[in-house]
A and B are shown apart, each in its own frame.
Chain A
Amino acid sequence: MLPTTRTSPTARGRGGATGAPPRPRRRRPGRWSAWWFLAPVTGYLVACYAYPLYRNVELSLREYTVRSFVQGGAPFAGLDNYRTVLADPTFGPAVAHTLVFTAASLAFQFTIGMALALFFQQHFPLSRTLRALILVPWLLPLIVSASTWSWLLNSDSGLVNAALGVVGVEPVNWLTSPRWSLVSVIVANVWIGIPFNLVVLHSGLQAIPAEVYEASALDGATGWQRFWSITFPLLRPVSAVTLLLGLIYTLKVFDIIWIMTRGGPTGSSTTLATWSYRLGFGNLLPEFGPGAAVGNLLIAAALVAGLGYLRAQWKQGLR
């Protein structure tokens, strides 16, 4: 314990003088004073997290117009905005697209990230440098990645269609046909997510002791057997955390979809995040109430995913 947390000598002396037993050290002024260091961040959390979230809930429960948004005095509407949103024909597809976008992104990011992590775990010249270079897509501003992919997938002059033309495939309207828009944004999102999966899984692989592999080599296990019966089970906690973090990040994805397709054409790549943005900011006449309602539904989904993440972290902490 730190010296300052001890009961001060004067207090002990006084206790002795009256003959009373020494008081239990319940109050620890030293430990409470640590909150001086935490006060700024606590105030910040209230102002910059709690307040915006509270405003968002309030927005979703009132009937806002542009006028009442500026001047105040919007009537209380209860759950009307939620009803509006749930009854909206966009709702079903938006939820479906969010699910498909998230599931497909996670599956491909994780599988490719795992394959690359296994490959780069081997020691060969330049392996460290190349592994660091693969981080680039993850560090680029999302608007840069999204506009680059927009151009790669351009119907008339994009490289992807040019390459498909070489093997005799007709050009595909990647971003402008409802059939392909969701696939296109998933491809871009997977590309951005691979490096993160690679790095985290790689650090997990590093933590597996080499002796385990040596023992299995003596037993004559093949590479594939080694992966399925050693690497994969031992990596499970790290994999769980990677997938759950990926889930939380992917639910939030907005920039890529908005920049590449704006959720279109005809809503074919609209997710809950882009829908919420379009309602609040993407139209000339903002619908703050429904926008906030969609946002709160998204938060609920993210929190469920988040609690799963914390459970995984906690379990891992117990090991």
Chain B
Amino acid sequence: MRAATRRSWWKTGVGLALTGLMLFPVYWMVNVSFTRDRDMRASPPHLFPADGTWDGYRAVLDQQLPYLGTSFLVGLGTVALTVALAAPAGYALAKLQPPGGPVLSFVLLIAQMIPGIIMAMGFYAGYLQLGVLNTLPGLILADSTLAVPFGVLIFTAFMSGIPDELTQAALVDGAGRLRTFWSVVLPVSRNSIVTVSLFAFLWSWSDFVYASTLAGGGEHQPITLGIYHYIGNNNQQWNAIMATAVVASVPAAVLLVLAQRYVSTGVTAGAVKD
């Protein structure tokens, strides 16, 4: 018994080492964000921010808040649009067996495989004519393409698991389809709504392709462009660049902690059939 415990602690040690190795670049980002300018080119580099500085974070507060605000708005808009489009579709595909449903699912699968850089060029041409280039709604619409097909597939998979008795009881009680969807299906699908929202937010928050092509010339630019401009203009102040990177990673970190199980659900549900 004791030997077994000791053996598994030994494994924990190896696990910690492997995790540490994988996360080392993340640590390095944090470390550099606290490093003073004059230590930045030190050789060998300082492994800990011994004489740390908050200068980088001060620069974030001074210069990057508007970018963060834009990303936040775009993220929320993308989540709202994605759930509004994907949840009803998931309900129909899972519960109503519409003619042509499998074809639609197939189209959604294919849609996920189209490289964003190609969509960006088409969006750019269309947006130029419509006059929505460099606007928030335009960017939200483009960013939602990252998540809508995935969202429909997740909702379909989840809602297929809702017992038919539940939806049929509602129908027998005289609720229409819309009412059944709104008052029965949506409330019990809370977990899948969380999963889809989480990924829609993360993907739009991380988006660089659409941001740089469709919002690069506007007043409202997301944080990915904030970092990108920083790297271009200002490559001396790496603590500010890395501090912005740390701040831009906060949503990912928070979501990982708060919604761990939804994250793994999302990763695997998108990829593997049960």
Contacts and interface: CB of A to CB of B under 8 A. Distances in A.
Contacts of A302: 113-115
A96 to B, nearest CB: 18
A51 B272 contact: no
Interface stretch (A10-18, A120-128, A217-225): A120-128
Interface stretch (B23-31, B53-61, B187-195): B23-31
Chain A's interface size range is: 35 or more
A147 B25 CA distance: 10
B166 interface: no
A59 B255 contact: no
Nearest to B142: A48
A191 B41 CA distance: 25
A295 B168 contact: no
A136 B121 contact: no
Contacts of B119: 49, 52-53, 56
Contacts of B96: 2, 30-31, 34, 37
A55 B126 CA distance: 8
A133 B23 CA distance: 8
Contacts, number: 294
Nearest to A314: B273
B252 A139 contact: yes
Contacts of A194: 22
Nearest to A30: B96
Contacts of B44: 162, 165-166
Contacts of B80: none
B220 interface: no
Interface residues of B, number: 100
Nearest to A132: B260
B161 interface: no
Nearest to A251: B115
B163 interface: no
A136 B26 contact: yes
A283 to B, nearest CB: 13
Contacts of B181: 37
A130 B272 contact: no
Contacts of B19: 130, 133-134
Interface in B67-94: 84-86, 88-89, 91-93
Name the prevailing secondary structure of the A interface residues: helix
Interface string B246-263: 001100110110001001
Interface stretch (A85-93, A100-108, A196-204, A226-234): A196-204
B114 A41 contact: no
Nearest to B264: A199
A94 B264 CA distance: 35
Given A69-B125, A136-B256, A259-B228, A38 B88 contact: yes
A34 B168 CA distance: 15
A49 B145 CA distance: 8
A132 B258 CA distance: 12
Contacts of B273: 313, 316-317
Contacts of B29: 144, 148, 151
A174 interface: no
Contacts of B122: 51-56, 59
B34 interface: no
B233 interface: no
B22 A140 contact: no
A157 B40 contact: yes
A38 B97 CA distance: 11
Contacts of B256: 132, 135-136, 139
Nearest to A204: B272
A208 interface: no
B263 A147 contact: no
A120 B28 CA distance: 24
| Chain A to chain B: the 4 pairs with minimum beta-carbon distance, closest first | A52-B122, A34-B96, A141-B206, A34-B98
